[in-house]
Every structure is written in structure tokens, then in C-alpha cells.
Amino acid sequence: MKISVIIATMNRPADLRKALDSLLAQTSAPSEILIIDQSTDNLTRELSSAMEKDFQAKSVELKYVWREEKSLVKARNNGLSLAKEDVVSFLDDDVVLFPDYYERILRYFEANPGVGALSGNVLIPRQPAGLKWQVRKALSKFFLLSDFKGGMTDSGFGYP
């Protein structure tokens, strides 16, 4: 089983660099990474070019695609139409993965052939602070949303 990683990005080359570095550190590297860029400058294109040899050394094909139209959904669909592998992973441009993330994903799929999709869990290294997070917490209490550590109902409704 092989993995295609699709990263839709726009004007965030510093964050993307961290995500790409975490992909380089994977114990089970994806076979291709598709960067779907919607940036207004060339910094992401330059980053992709600069890192291409690092990925080639790990036998990972790094593909760069620029889109003028700004749409996360259309960018991901664009990547999906280009992906070649059995497993497709949508990765946000600001995510840093544990080194064994894809190793564990592949192991789970192989052990559970009836599973159609998996998702990782987001860990925030420090407690969110500031007015935005105070408002979010107040709204969660007002609308009687729980403080679960993440979960999903059978219907697909997510808990905070």
C-alpha cells in the first residue's frame, strides 16, 4: 500500500516548510506529495523547488501545482484527481506529524481491510489563549457543547 499526500496551501510557506520537514522524517514515507498552491507570490513554488532533491533522495515524488482560483475544496479535488496511490492523505499546511504517523496508518489499514478512512488527532502543544479562545469557550457552554477531547458520533457529528 502506498500513500499520496495532498497539501492545499495559500501564502504560508513557513508553515508548509515545517509540514514538509515532518514528511521527510516519516519512517514510512509517502510515495508522492502534491502541493496545490493558491498563493499570491512565488515563495511556495520556490520552497517546493528547493526541497525537491531532499524528497527525491527518499524516493518521494514532490509535485507542485499552482491554481489561480482560491478554494480549499477545489484545490483538494484538484489534488485528488492527480493522486496515483491506494491511500490518499489530506494534510493541512500547518500540520507537523509524528515520525511514525504514516507507518501507523498503513499498519492499521493492512490489519483492517474493511476500513475506508482514518483520521489523526490534533494535539495542541500549548493551551490556547486570548480573546478568540475565550469567546469560543463561552459559545461552547452557551450552546451546551461538551469539553470532550474529540469524538465522532455515528452520524458524523463531531464533538469539540
Cβ neighbours for 49, distance < 8 A, ≥ 6 positions apart: 64
Q: How many CA atoms lie within 13 A of 59 on its CB side?
A: 6
Per-residue pLDDT tens digits of the chain, which is 160 residues long: 999 999 999 999 999 999 999 999 999 999 999 999 999 999 999 999 999 999 999 999 999 999 999 999 999 999 999 999 989 999 999 999 999 999 999 999 999 999 999 888 777 777 777 888 888 778 877 776 665 555 555 555 554 4
- pTM summary value: 0.81
